[in-house]
Amino acid sequence: MFDDLPPDLDRLHTLRVWHTLWLQRIDAKIAALTRRQAEEERGRRNRPAPPEWIVELGIGERRPPVQVHAGDCYLAGTRRRPVDREEARRLLTAGLTACGHCRPDSTLGITELSNRPTLTAAAGSSAADGGISSGRAMADSAAGPTAGRTQGWSSYVTKIQAAPQPHVEPVGTRWQPVFVKHEA
With a cut of 50, say whether residue 162 has pLDDT above it.
yes
- What's the rounded mean pLDDT across residues 79-87? 91
What proportion of the chain, given as a percentage, has pLDDT over 70?
60
pLDDT one-digit tens code per residue, 15-66:
999 999 999 999 999 999 999 999 999 999 998 888 899 999 988 888 888 8
Three-class HEC string of 32-87 = HHHHHHHHHHHHHHHCCCCCCEEEEECCCCCCCEEEEEECCCCCCCCCEEEECHHH
- What predicted TM-score, i.e. pTM, was given to this entire model? 0.42
With a cut of 60, say whether residue 102 has pLDDT above it.
yes
Distance CA 69, CA 101 (A): 9
**Which residue type occupies 140?**
D
Q: Say which range, 1-5, 107-111, 166-170, has the weakest mean pLDDT.
A: 166-170
Looking only at the bridges linking them, the beta strands covering 53-57 and 174-180 are unpaired
- What's the rounded mean pLDDT across residues 141-157? 50
